[in-house]
Structure 1
Amino acid sequence: MTLIHPKAHFRPYTSAAGGWGSAKSVMEILWREQAPIRAGLPLIKQNKPGGFACVSCAWAKPGKPHSLEFCENGAKATAWELTSRKTDPAFFARHTLTELRQWPDYDLEQQGRLTHPMRYNAATDRYQETTWEEAYRDIGAQLKSMSPDSVVFYASGRASLETSFMYQLLARAYGTNNLPDSSNMCHESTSVGLQESIGVPVGTVTLDDFEHTDCILFFGQNVGSNSPRMLHQLREARQRDVPIITFNPIRERGLERFVNPQSPVEMLGPNSTVISTQYHQLAIGGDTAVVMGIAKSLFEMDEAALAKGQPGIIDQAFIAQHTEGFAEFCNSVLETPWDTIERQAGLSRSALEAVATVYARHERVMLVYGMGITQHRRGVTNVQMLVNLLLLRGNIGKRGAGICPVRGHSNVQGQRTVGITEDPKKIPVDKIEELYGFTVPSKKGLNTVETCEGLLDGSVRGFIGLGGNFLRAIPDTSRMEPAWNTLELNVQIATKLNRTHLVPGKNAWILPCLGRIEKDVQNGVEQVYTTEDSTGCVRAWQGNSEPASAHARAEVAILAGIAEATLPGATRIDWDARRRDYALIRQGIAQVYPEIFHDMETRMWETGGFHRPIAAAKREWKTESGRAIFITPELLEEDDDVYPNHTRRDVLQLMTLRSNDQFNTTIYGYEDRFRGVSGTRAVIFMNRNDVLRLGFKPGDWVNVTTAIEPQVTRSVGPLQIIAYDIPENCCAAYYPECNPLVPLWHHAERSKVPAAKSIPVTLAKASPSAGDLKRALPESDQVR
């Protein structure tokens, strides 16, 4: 049941982000999901008081919302979840898993919402309906027969604070700290880097700071597709003439121009807002070198100003009072030659001097970044270099300034706050043990990469997935799928069918859960839930749509059922009472984390919610020395393991990216409007000079192979070449299709985030299939 593609094409997109293109895209997905009313009406309450939190990105929700407080991708996520389509037992009776594994990801999720608990039957190679009672009983029995450290409890970033807190209690009461989550694959470099540099694992910026900043630096984040609601803050900043300086290898439309869909004047007129006042297309892996160059320019400007008797550029008073490590960092910058910086950054000295000149003129500077910074071998260093740049002029701990990591999943930051972590040193063990009457295991658990290693060596025997599409999201896919089939236990709590469900292992269950948009009624009472956004703001929300199926259960209820079957009498936790009343869960959260969640039941209803305390925002540095720390990089290379081959002219650096029509592994459609691609995802974006010098032409089909560890073949294709505006020696293609190219060991040092933003690859001409040719991009369209 493969999707019938329209004729694929590539035509450069010349309109602004937002505008009529965004409105049209929203209407198309509402129609496609057969939910113009079921999903359309709830959109009015999305991200508003008394409504529900968007299940897409984690960008902050204003206390005074716009009339329509959702973006194009947020509307797609809502329509996707409130679809009228159903994946029921009859569907599974018609299709074997062997058959379904041949389907595209889009087709799987497009079947609609899961409706009944299902168990895999190996004899028929099908899922078949079971009861909740049988599922709980059999899962519990299997868990009791297994070593706790052989079981992994994975959490998607969509789970609420209440669900996340229950989940970590379940895992730890069971006897393991194996609690990886989606942040392991994206922003763990932030958690490690910021904690070491400024003493907190999260950003220091709130929405209020956007109203008071006078300059914004933007690194490695595609706001137009990944967090479009932020465009409102950027637009308002530009209307105040705030410069926005962007660093990104590809020119992304959302960082160039924006038309506000809620402004009749902009929608009906020719005007749009120019977002970036400078746009620098650095080389993939050039971020640390870029910051080094800006710092070098600042030091040179500082020296020149002091020589003239003028005030210095560097905030020496702040540095002396609040920091350490400055002298070593300064020496490293001054000793690094400009030609080295330019070569590694892919930018000229004059470009970096232009950035430094603007930065030096402004007193309240914010720095915004995404996974273009974190998903490198030295992703932690990248984060710390951004902190260094802010510290040079005292731009942390004052209004309108600070560092702003843009998280992906809607509550991925929040679930870490309430205990979803593999490291027991990051949780208040004593309070958990005192309150709940069990011993928290002291052994550090597995993160995502370590879970994958455990699958390969056979030490991981069981997996419980609280949402997500783990097997599709992880690196080294071609090696991981065969290993996954050896699992003794595979439990997936989900709303829709995805690739991970089709590799069942020996005993597999799919447990359908409610979405956060749906009413969660327990014992006749509608429950509320809470989330924490990218800015550390916690708010209460409530689903308002009818459940997709009478047989689906709330995530909290499912966890309580598994816990009661697995841990009878093992703790003082009344799982069923918490299922019936989420206020009891929040009471526990407040008792375990009183500094953050005191009076939670009242404060979560405040206008705009309440912010967790961020010490660094008040210039309190919870580091070992009590000061913010300048970290000196060991190397300028972000991905040093790939550089032994950098003299080979046939090796390109590939970064993976998302289309405008997806969120993480969820594919909403085949339209990447902002990049001009329609009807296909089987493409690779290349600089025209590289296309020609390597002996190809636009429109050619190629297989893409990882250029390191030649004893292991990692290849993806065929992909069709698009000549695109990307730096030479760089290329880009879609995630998660290119995950097989990422070696498991190719991850960030210390954070173990897969380094998917720089993969050394080679290309070889391929022979496309008939299906590929039907979706071919005409060479005449290959103009950018």
Structure 2
Amino acid sequence: MKPRFKPYRGPSGGWGSANAVGTILLRERAPLTGAVTLLKQNRPIDGFACVSCAWAKPHPSKPLAFCENGAKATAWETTSLRCTPEFFAAHALSELRNWSDYQLEQQGRLTHPMRWDATSDRYLPVTWEEAIAEIGAELKRLDAPDQAVFYASGRASLEASYLWQLLARRFGTNNLPDSSNMCHETTSVALPESIGVPVGTVTLNDFAKTDCLLIFGHNTSSNSPRMLHDLEAARQRGAPIITFNPLRERGLERFTNPQSPKQMLTGESQVVSTHYHQVTIGGDAAAIAGICKALLTMDDAAREAGQDRVLDIAFIEQHTQGFEAFEHVIRSYAWSMLERRSGLSRSAMEGAARIYASGQRVIAIYGMGLTQHRHGVTSIQMLVNLLLMRGNLGKEGAGICPVRGHSNVQGQRTVGITEKVTQVPVERLREQFDFTVSEHDGTTTVDACEGVLSGKIKAFLALGGNFVRATPDSHRLEPAWSELRLTVQIATKLNRSALVHGEKAYILPCLGRTEMDTQASGLQYHTTEDSTACIRAWQGVVKPAGSHLRSEPAIIAALAKATLPASPLMDWDAWVADYGLIRDAIATTYPETFHDFNTRMLEPGGFHRPLPATKREWSTDSGKANFTRPETLAINDDVEPTTERRDVLNLMTVRSNDQFNTTVYGYDDRFRGVYGTRSVIFMHCNDMARLGLKEGDQVQVSTAVDDGVQRSVGPLRVTPHDIPEGCCAAYYPECNPLVPLWHHEKKAKVPAAKSIPITLRRVIATA
């Protein structure tokens, strides 16, 4: 198909979403099964949790409680296509490595356990018993437990995640990197320092009561479309929405609700953002600092006039510390510097401050546009500072709202998927299971990659995900995977991580979340936690894609039995027979959160984790919420724009509206007007002219750092777009090779994929 480029003028949602859902149901050859299954999506108790994003599910549930991307994820999983042993017999891995991500996953659901055969370079069928025994034997042959990595994607349930971390820790390692290391570890570092909790403080009930919303660095229409319903409701109440984002995303501009017959028939749409500020990439902290500076000026004027204070002084004095030092820093900033760093005018920042000050209950929402930067922690803590100035934490209708990606990525942290020993209830695990947790921190994603490159890591086991494709510096990393002794992929579909493998490699096919999981005690429930810290029970509703599939808890238990010494305190068979016993174990390990787990998970709407900050109780070292002084407002430490290097642009990676994480559902990105390709780079027309480029030119993109490694991607088609000058955007994961492994958030080690210094070289496209 020849690529097409046609500007999209319509809203998000509407008939465009309806058509996209119909298209993927047909593409996955599941028009009837998929459509019937969607009726059970996000319906508690008798339905299943969306496989896609972690946005909160409303209670009571709506008749059609899914969005476009959630429907795509369900169709992708309930496909009638099958990736069988016959497929692997016909294709060597050297051939498959040249296939695209889309082509690989489009082969359908994996059906049998497979083992790589070096002689034929093919995956061959293997029995479950042989695969599990061989994997266990390889793990036991390692010289040290820390030579193994147990990676977890955000798909796994709370039950599977708990067993996974228990397997790793009993084996003797805390090497438990996960999806959070890729995206929201920045949140997990920033928020505890500021307010004493590692997650957001907002629930759906708060969205119903807020009178103002701030959105930073989040493409809602592509990454969490169900949130648009909550934003629409806020706008209909008259709440202003102020958006800060480099790109103008259609879902943050206009939305036609597919569940509104009137809007669908008339073509009406709701304006989402009342004010839209296109900050320069990485300029969020400076923009927030400008708003804070304007608030201080407004407060000065109110005091002089004898009017009510703009700042919530009572809250600041009773509940916070560090305000004076923070105030001093903010007042010292020159407006010219803030304008240069943020890409916004002084009047834009002052206007945003005035609107913010008019709200009594304000929610601040953010996504990876804040987290995946060198100074992401600073940006998030600046956003908290802004909320603290007017007491917008710990009250209804207000708070901080990080929007998580994968559906249970937040929940798996709650039950122990973490590399940090200080976040593990070490003593409870010792009392509960009679073993001592390793006292050494495990590997983050970046650490694991460094361990693969150095040879320290010998075994890599993945509970879902597509780690090889998701990592930075992937062109450097992929060759190093062949030096591993063991790689294991617990997966539903084929992806690149199964093709870039170690000396011993296995694919273990598992049940998907949409599928019925029947064990000895009957049909099983599983649980997840959403972005608002709400925990609910779900059940699969469709028949498994094959008779040889096993559930994730069953696979983990089998690996544990083959690897660990037997213990009467760890009855893996009983846990698999009845997941309620796993939840009992979780409740013993984490009683504050999961007491009466099996009862509370079935409550209408589920139950929320206890978060002290929502009650204005601050679990920080100071016992108060902390104003933090920004160490820097620099956009990028590695390359700062200078008059001498006008050829360097700042690249952010983005996702299309036809993908979820590394999963590509198709090659169309209708909101950006791109059809049939992902090989594009979006640029401001002035930058194109300045660099001598025109629309349709092909360019090779290279990382503009000198560390002895050449990093390049291309050719990419130059495409004009509404983006700030000096900035550009291209698709993830295709541009991961441009991200140096050391180019990460300074404290959290999250790859800084939203701010990559690059240069362009025009190339002649080959026919």
If the TM-score is normalised by the length of the shorter chain, which range does it land in? over 0.9
Find the counterpart in structure 2 of residue 511 from structure 1: 508
How much has 1:769 moved relative to structure 2? Answer: 3.0
Amino acid at match of 1:441: S
Equivalent-residue separation in structure 1 for 2:462 and 2:703 (angstroms): 29
Find the counterpart in structure 2 of residue 782 from structure 1: none
Higher mean displacement: 61-70 or 238-247: 61-70
Find the counterpart in structure 1 of residue 95 from structure 2: 99
Find the counterpart in structure 2 of residue 267 from structure 1: 264
Task: Assess if the C-alpha contact under 8 Å between 1:438 and 1:571 holds in 2.
Answer: no
Task: Assess if the C-alpha contact under 8 Å between 1:686 and 1:732 holds in 2.
Answer: yes
Equivalent residue in structure 1 for 2:433, among 428, 432, 436: 436
Equivalent residue in structure 2 for 1:558, among 547, 555, 559: 555
3-state SS of paired residue (2:264): helix
3-state SS of paired residue (2:35): coil
How much has 1:360 moved relative to structure 2? Answer: 0.7
Equivalent residue in structure 2 for 1:185, among 172, 182, 188: 182
- Once the two structures are superposed, what CA deviation does each residue of 1:288-341 show, in whole Å capped at 9, x if it has no partner? 100110000000011011111111111111111011111111010101000000
Equivalent-residue separation in structure 1 for 2:492 and 2:34 (angstroms): 16
How much has 1:362 moved relative to structure 2? Answer: 1.0
Equivalent residue in structure 1 for 2:22, among 24, 27, 32: 27
- Once the two structures are superposed, what CA deviation does each residue of 1:507-534 show, in whole Å capped at 9, x if it has no partner? 0000000001000011261111000000
Equivalent residue in structure 2 for 1:59, among 55, 58, 62: 55
3-state SS of paired residue (2:129): helix
Task: Assess if the C-alpha contact under 8 Å between 1:438 and 1:570 holds in 2.
Answer: no
Equivalent residue in structure 2 for 1:679, among 676, 681, 694: 676
Find the counterpart in structure 2 of residue 529 from structure 1: 526
Equivalent residue in structure 1 for 2:111, among 115, 126, 136: 115
Amino acid at match of 1:63: H
Equivalent-residue separation in structure 2 for 1:420 and 1:716 (angstroms): 33
3-state SS of paired residue (1:45): coil
How much has 1:572 moved relative to structure 2? Answer: 2.1
How much has 1:637 moved relative to structure 2? Answer: 1.0
Q: 1:87 to 1:685 in 2, by over 3 A?
A: same
Find the counterpart in structure 1 of residue 67 from structure 2: 71
Equivalent-residue separation in structure 2 for 1:346 and 1:333 (angstroms): 18
How much has 1:571 moved relative to structure 2? Answer: 6.4
2:532 pairs with 1:546: no
Higher mean displacement: 645-654 or 437-446: 645-654
Equivalent residue in structure 1 for 2:593, among 565, 586, 596: 596
How much has 1:638 moved relative to structure 2? Answer: 3.4
3-state SS of paired residue (1:163): helix
2:153 pairs with 1:156: yes
Amino acid at match of 1:243: P
1:173-322 matched pairs, under 5 angstroms: 173-322=170-319
- Once the two structures are superposed, what CA deviation does each residue of 1:177-227 show, in whole Å capped at 9, x if it has no partner? 000000000000001000000000000000000010000000000000000
3-state SS of paired residue (1:643): coil
Equivalent-residue separation in structure 2 for 1:725 and 1:80 (angstroms): 32
2:637 pairs with 1:637: no
2:418 pairs with 1:450: no
Task: Assess if the C-alpha contact under 8 Å between 2:471 and 2:736 holds in 1.
Answer: yes
How much has 1:643 moved relative to structure 2? Answer: 1.6
3-state SS of paired residue (2:547): coil
How much has 1:436 moved relative to structure 2? Answer: 1.1
How much has 1:768 moved relative to structure 2? Answer: 2.1
Equivalent-residue separation in structure 2 for 1:473 and 1:513 (angstroms): 21
- Once the two structures are superposed, what CA deviation does each residue of 1:431-479 show, in whole Å capped at 9, x if it has no partner? 1111112111111100100000101111011000000000000000010
How much has 1:69 moved relative to structure 2? Answer: 0.2
Find the counterpart in structure 2 of residue 777 from structure 1: none
How much has 1:710 moved relative to structure 2? Answer: 5.0
Task: Assess if the C-alpha contact under 8 Å between 1:382 and 1:638 holds in 2.
Answer: no
Equivalent-residue separation in structure 1 for 2:220 and 2:641 (angstroms): 33
2:140 pairs with 1:144: yes
Equivalent residue in structure 2 for 1:398, among 395, 399, 415: 395
Task: Assess if the C-alpha contact under 8 Å between 2:641 and 2:648 holds in 1.
Answer: no
Equivalent-residue separation in structure 1 for 2:637 and 2:614 (angstroms): 33
Equivalent-residue separation in structure 2 for 1:106 and 1:672 (angstroms): 14
Q: 1:21 to 1:395 in 2, by over 3 A?
A: same
Task: Assess if the C-alpha contact under 8 Å between 2:457 and 2:484 holds in 1.
Answer: yes
2:43 pairs with 1:48: yes
3-state SS of paired residue (1:38): helix
3-state SS of paired residue (1:640): coil
Equivalent-residue separation in structure 1 for 2:763 and 2:714 (angstroms): 8
- Once the two structures are superposed, what CA deviation does each residue of 1:744-773 show, in whole Å capped at 9, x if it has no partner? 000001100000000000000122232xxx
Task: Assess if the C-alpha contact under 8 Å between 1:88 and 1:116 holds in 2.
Answer: yes
3-state SS of paired residue (2:363): strand
How much has 1:646 moved relative to structure 2? Answer: 6.9
Equivalent residue in structure 1 for 2:31, among 24, 28, 36: 36
Amino acid at match of 1:218: I
Task: Assess if the C-alpha contact under 8 Å between 1:379 and 1:638 holds in 2.
Answer: no
Amino acid at match of 2:33: R
Equivalent residue in structure 1 for 2:333, among 331, 336, 342: 336
Find the counterpart in structure 2 of residue 667 from structure 1: 664
Find the counterpart in structure 2 of residue 128 from structure 1: 124
Find the counterpart in structure 1 of residue 369 from structure 2: 372
Equivalent-residue separation in structure 2 for 1:455 and 1:711 (angstroms): 19
Equivalent-residue separation in structure 1 for 2:359 and 2:138 (angstroms): 61
Amino acid at match of 1:48: R
Deviating beyond 6 angstroms after TM superposition, the runs of 4 or more aligned structure 1 residues are: none
3-state SS of paired residue (2:535): strand
How many residues end up aligned between the 2 structures?
765
How much has 1:270 moved relative to structure 2? Answer: 3.2
Task: Assess if the C-alpha contact under 8 Å between 1:160 and 1:531 holds in 2.
Answer: yes
Amino acid at match of 2:34: A
1:605-616 matched pairs, under 5 angstroms: 605-616=602-613
3-state SS of paired residue (1:638): coil
Amino acid at match of 1:347: L
Find the counterpart in structure 2 of residue 411 from structure 1: 408
Gapped regions of structure 2 (runs ≥ 5): none
Find the counterpart in structure 2 of residue 81 from structure 1: 77
Equivalent-residue separation in structure 2 for 1:165 and 1:91 (angstroms): 34
3-state SS of paired residue (1:332): helix
Gapped regions of structure 1 (runs ≥ 5): 1-5, 771-784
Find the counterpart in structure 1 of residue 162 from structure 2: 165
3-state SS of paired residue (1:637): coil
Equivalent-residue separation in structure 2 for 1:114 and 1:568 (angstroms): 31
Task: Assess if the C-alpha contact under 8 Å between 1:173 and 1:571 holds in 2.
Answer: no
Equivalent residue in structure 1 for 2:423, among 422, 426, 431: 426
Task: Assess if the C-alpha contact under 8 Å between 2:521 and 2:578 holds in 1.
Answer: no
Task: Assess if the C-alpha contact under 8 Å between 2:521 and 2:577 holds in 1.
Answer: no
Equivalent-residue separation in structure 1 for 2:372 and 2:235 (angstroms): 29
3-state SS of paired residue (1:368): strand
Amino acid at match of 2:671: F
Equivalent-residue separation in structure 1 for 2:35 and 2:279 (angstroms): 40
Equivalent-residue separation in structure 1 for 2:554 and 2:729 (angstroms): 42
Equivalent-residue separation in structure 1 for 2:577 and 2:98 (angstroms): 41
Q: 1:514 to 1:324 in 2, by over 3 A?
A: same
Identity of aligned residues (%): 63
Amino acid at match of 1:60: A
Amino acid at match of 1:41: V
